[in-house]
């Protein structure tokens, strides 16, 4: 069982590279065994151990390799990025590979129309999921296209109360469990933990006693306002944040009087968590489009892929 505890009393480091990782645009060496079910098992396994492989899609990719390498190194193994015999046995314990989920009325309360323009978003009370498929995909950390593949023959554009959907057998993210908290209290027992943001390889690593205990894909800044390199401290963690959308701030790093206040919700531009730093105007946050994580600019210093594990900050890695 994963314990829901806060892990934010640490320093954040912006760095250029991280030893065994390569740039996310490089071709990932395929695993020795790379069929869909094996790769899906691997993605589930890594996700459940807080090493985010990106969206679960049953396909080998660079983020899967990076997550596997970090998991291997963090557990004292050779970071080969390959599925060895011992790991293959662990993966076989994930059975079944796929499960089913039935949509409830409470689920559908989290689904609604989401406008594209900030001015229109500011008029809403909550920024909900764009569709029931969007809800299911994030709940099970999966690529919507993969959910469609698992449910071929079913119209996923018309999901209703009671609809049953095949999903990866991963621990679900429950948006209903995330309560709005302006400033979560720190846990002093984690004061020595640090976050390393690797802007080149687009990965965020949580380090405890020189060991990587969790790792996730990120989008580091944007072309017009790239993530700065430096060392800062986390000063505030907000769940279900309100976001101040200011075009001047996003493009030039300067506040203006022309802004919109975007209400909280899973499709708020900064997702469900804002991590403020002791450097004005930057932070680490979630995303409103986890399926396009690598292509979209971040709203601040770094955005992590919420569809992978949006609640990672609220719990400890599995022992």
Instruction: Tell me the pLDDT tens digit for each residue of 18-37.
Output: 443 333 334 456 665 679 99
- 88's CB contacts (< 8 A; 6+ apart) are 33, 38
% of the chain exceeding 70 in pLDDT: 81
1/223: higher pLDDT: 223
What local confidence, expressed as pLDDT, does residue 309 receive? 42
Q: Are 52 and 204 in contact (CB under 8 A)?
A: no
Instruction: Provide the whole-model pTM.
Output: 0.84
What local confidence, expressed as pLDDT, does residue 5 receive? 29
Residue 99: name the closest of 164, 161, 156 by CA. 164
| Poorest-pLDDT segment among 93-102, 143-152, 164-173, 208-217 | 208-217
Residue 294: name the closest of 7, 12, 26 by CA. 26
The stretch 53-77 carries a mean pLDDT of 95
**Taking phi first (over 0 means left), then psi (-120 to 50 degrees means alpha), and beta for anything else, what does residue 137 get?**
alpha
Label residue 166 exposed, middle or buried (CB < 10 Å: 0-12, 13-18, 19+): middle
Q: In degrees, to the nearest 5, what angle opens at C-alpha 237 toward C-alphas 232 and 243?
A: 100
Question: How far apart, in whole angstroms, are the C-alpha atoms of residue 240 and residue 196?
Answer: 24
The stretch 224-250 carries a mean pLDDT of 86
Structural domain 98-172, CATH architecture: Roll (3.10)
What local confidence, expressed as pLDDT, does residue 2 receive? 28
229/305: higher pLDDT: 229
Q: What is the mean pLDDT of the chain?
A: 83
Confidence of residue 253 (pLDDT cuts 50, 70, 90): confident
Quick one: tokens of 271? 């997702």
Question: How far apart, in whole angstroms, are the C-alpha atoms of residue 291 and residue 131?
Answer: 14
What local confidence, expressed as pLDDT, does residue 186 receive? 84
What local confidence, expressed as pLDDT, does residue 223 receive? 72
Instruction: Tell me the pLDDT tens digit for each residue of 107-160.
Output: 999 999 999 999 999 999 999 999 999 999 999 999 999 999 999 999 999 999
């Amino acid at each position: 069982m994963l314990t829901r505890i806060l892990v934010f009393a640490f320093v954040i480091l912006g760095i250029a590279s991280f030893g065994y990782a390569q740039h996310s645009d490089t071709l990932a060496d395929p695993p020795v065994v790379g069929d869909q079910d094996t790769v899906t098992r691997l993605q589930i396994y890594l996700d459940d151990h807080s090493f985010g492989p990106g969206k679960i899609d049953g396909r080998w990719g660079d983020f899967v390799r990076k997550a596997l390498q970090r998991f291997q190194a963090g557990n004292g193994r050779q970071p080969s990025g390959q599925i060895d015999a011992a790991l293959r046995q662990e993966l076989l314990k994930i059975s079944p590979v796929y499960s089913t989920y039935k949509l409830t009325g409470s689920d559908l309360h989290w689904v609604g129309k989401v406008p594209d323009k900030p001015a229109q978003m500011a008029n809403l009370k909550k920024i909900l999921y764009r569709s029931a498929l969007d809800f299911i995909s994030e709940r099970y950390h999966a690529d919507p296209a993969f959910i469609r593949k698992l449910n071929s023959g079913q119209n996923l554009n018309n999901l209703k109360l009671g609809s049953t959907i095949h999903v990866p057998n991963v621990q679900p993210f429950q948006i209903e469990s995330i309560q709005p908290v302006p400033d979560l209290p720190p846990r002093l027992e984690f004061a020595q933990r640090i976050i390393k943001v690797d802007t080149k390889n687009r990965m965020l690593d949580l380090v405890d006693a020189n060991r990587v205990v969790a790792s996730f894909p990120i989008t580091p800044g944007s072309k017009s306002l790239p993530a700065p390199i430096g060392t800062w401290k986390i000063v505030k963690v907000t769940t279900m944040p309100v976001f101040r959308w200011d075009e001047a701030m996003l493009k030039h790093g300067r506040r203006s009087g022309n802004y919109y206040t975007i209400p909280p919700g899973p499709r708020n531009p900064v997702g469900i968590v804002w991590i403020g730093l002791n450097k004005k105007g930057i932070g680490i946050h979630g995303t409103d489009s986890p399926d396009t994580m690598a292509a979209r600019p971040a709203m601040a210093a770094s955005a992590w892929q919420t569809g992978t594990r949006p609640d990672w900050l609220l719990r400890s890695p599995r022992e």
